[in-house]
Chain A
Amino acid sequence: MRDSTPLLSKPPMLLDERSRRLRLLVLRAMEQGGRGHPGPALSLIEILRVLYDDILRYRPDQPQWPERDRCILSKGHGCLALYALLADKGFFPVEALDTFCRFDSFLGGHPERGKIPGVEASTGSLGHGLSIGVGQALAARLQARSHRVVVVMGDGEINEGSVWEAAMTATKHRLDALTAVVDYNKMQSYGPTREVLDLEPLVDKWRAFGFTTREVDGHDVAALRTTLSTPPEPGRPTAIIAHTVKGKGIPEAEHNPEWHHKSRIPAPLFSAMRQALETP
């Protein structure tokens, strides 16, 4: 038994131009919306970037394409990262980010299926996505389709018992088309996961529940590509523990639980954050 933290001791990953540009989209939405969950979105960017750039099959102009891979953002509060990727990929115009959380917007503080092209499930209350993913993976098998189902979860989220119900079921049904990704930024709303409700030994837990487990630096694009594209073990679902930094890329927000959710960020701070990302 050991802690799933060795990757943290490496020097922090530097963000390339694309990662910084996606973060600027997150800031853009947040500034216009006046609020958001920056910390949980910023730890997610590279996970979603690699999924949407390199792994998932989808058609932005045909969001319901039956053969698409299903990607559920179960930690719905990380939606600013998802919105940035979906806008970047052309599921909707980038300008729509400026309407985030407004009365008539289709981009709410948590993502909704049916409103936002590319969103597979309405999430926001935690611990729902993996069960839905299990159902979708079973459906794919019944329909003899070959698409993958990827469920991206938060670390605080997997405090929920329903996640582990779903994990047992995924293993029972040998759902190798199902991949669970845990954005392990080790910081939940109140404070460190270790203090609020310790998840360790996290890798061992997923393995004990029957998953093939892989660990990766969740900000290392090349490593994520390798990990996410590795074929599953036949007959076993996969859990990827992505070690991340909450608030990654914004010094004020990194490892800072006060940036879990934020509103009324002063304009000069937005300018400073933008500048830091534009001129690293």
Chain B
Amino acid sequence: MRKSSLDAVFQLAQQDERVIFLGSDLGVGTLQAFRDTFPERFFMEGIAEQNLIGMAAGLAMEGFIPYVNTIASFLTRRCLEQITIDVCLHHLPVRLIGNGGGLVYAPLGPTHLATDDLALMRAQPHMTVLAPCDALQMRACMAQTLHHPGPIYIRLAKGGDRVVFPETMPVTLGQGITLRPGDQALLITTGVMAQRALEAALILEQHHISCGVAHLHTVKPLDDTLICNAARTFPLLVTLEEHSLVGGLGSAVAERLADQGPYPGPRLLRLGLPDCFPHHYGSQEAHLAALGLDAESIARRVALALDTGIGSQP
């Protein structure tokens, strides 16, 4: 997914000379082809993220379309104020590409986890927040970023994620997609939880429980139509995110239902990360399993909610 995203930046740069790449201190060889082809539009500016965002804003003010890439936790937290003021307040077309959204960097510890990035970015006026599920969808989303008028945050996953996005399906920023139909519950996902949700739906199917899966590659703006229709159709909505339960997709859906109904509405089960720092290292998968976010745990929790209405704690 990361490769697809950065390759797309190079392709966009070939299409449009306003496209600029800015990195902090990324891995050696990152976007070498871009650097070789357009050295004047390739910037690697060191471990100075605040400055990087300000620079991107200055370039965007003058008509360029900067794509900024660094580790998601640093990108969204270290320079949050620059994102808010320099980019969002000026409503500039800066694209922020965050590596390792969620628990990807689990072995590296809490400093490197981006489990609040969606919340932070969602809270910024004008910001569009994307979390595609696989390389194909990333490519489709990236193509949409060129002419988008405001700032965009793009969350990357680990890479090598199983491709579940139907290649022929069109992508429109702000519009979710249905990955699987169903009757009894709708699993609403973002990022790479799509894969887990599809597996969970299969498991539930074996137990004669019919669950649909809708995927929101755009967390902000939220697809109101999709949520509204789902709320009128399904007795149970389940949000799934590799993100804190504070402020992410589940929060967005809960806000939408609380503000706009329907009243009474469906039951909402929010599955995500608890509001605490993890005390383990290991793999992303191990963390998801321990937190009840692997496919089997998701299936069990959905079944439980359908039977008993029990809450979201694993």
Contacts and interface: CB of A to CB of B under 8 A. Distances in A.
Nearest to A138: B59
Given A128-B85, A128-B86, A131-B51, A136 B58 contact: yes
A120 B64 CA distance: 16
Interface string B64-89: 10000000000000000110011001
Interface size bracket, B side: 20 to 34
A135 B53 CA distance: 9
A165 B50 contact: yes
A32 interface: no
A136 B57 CA distance: 8
Nearest to B54: A131
Interface stretch (B39-47, B107-115, B129-137, B243-251): B39-47
Chain B binding site: helix, strand, loop or mixed by DSSP?
helix
A212 to B, nearest CB: 20
A130 B56 CA distance: 12
Given A128-B86, A139-B64, A169 B51 contact: yes
A143 B17 CA distance: 11
Contacts of A136: 58-59, 61-62
A125 B59 CA distance: 20
A127 B58 CA distance: 14
B51 A166 contact: yes
Nearest to B79: A162
A135 B56 contact: yes
A269 interface: no
Contact of A168 (B46, B61, B82): B46
A124 to B, nearest CB: 8
Nearest to B82: A128
B46 A142 contact: no
A131 B89 CA distance: 16
Nearest to B51: A165
A139 B50 contact: no
A135 B55 contact: yes
A113 to B, nearest CB: 6
Of B58, B62, B89, the most chain A CB neighbours within 10 A belong to B58
B158 interface: no
Of A130, A138, A161, the most chain B CB neighbours within 10 A belong to A138
A125 B88 CA distance: 14
B46 A132 contact: no
A264 B86 CA distance: 32
B58 A135 contact: yes
Contact of A165 (B48, B63, B90): B48
Contacts of A63: none
Nearest to B59: A135
A88 B272 CA distance: 57
Interface string A129-155: 011111111111011000000000000
Nearest to A172: B45
Given A122-B90, A168-B46, A134 B64 contact: no
Interface residues of A, number: 30
Contacts of B43: 138
Contact of A133 (B50, B52, B58, B90): B58
A121 interface: yes
Given A128-B82, A131-B55, A132-B86, A169 B48 contact: yes
Given A128-B82, A165-B50, A121 B55 contact: no
A114 interface: yes
Of B45, B54, B60, the most chain A CB neighbours within 10 A belong to B54
A132 B61 contact: yes
Interface of B: 40-41, 43, 45-46, 48, 50-64, 81-82, 85-86, 89-91
17 contacts: A120-B61, A121-B90, A124-B85, A128-B81, A128-B82, A131-B50, A135-B55, A135-B56, A135-B59, A139-B59, A139-B61, A140-B62, A142-B41, A162-B51, A162-B54, A165-B48, A166-B51
Given A143-B62, A168-B48, 18 more contacts: A114-B90, A114-B91, A120-B61, A121-B86, A128-B54, A128-B82, A131-B50, A131-B58, A132-B55, A136-B61, A136-B62, A139-B62, A142-B64, A162-B82, A166-B54, A169-B45, A169-B48, A169-B51
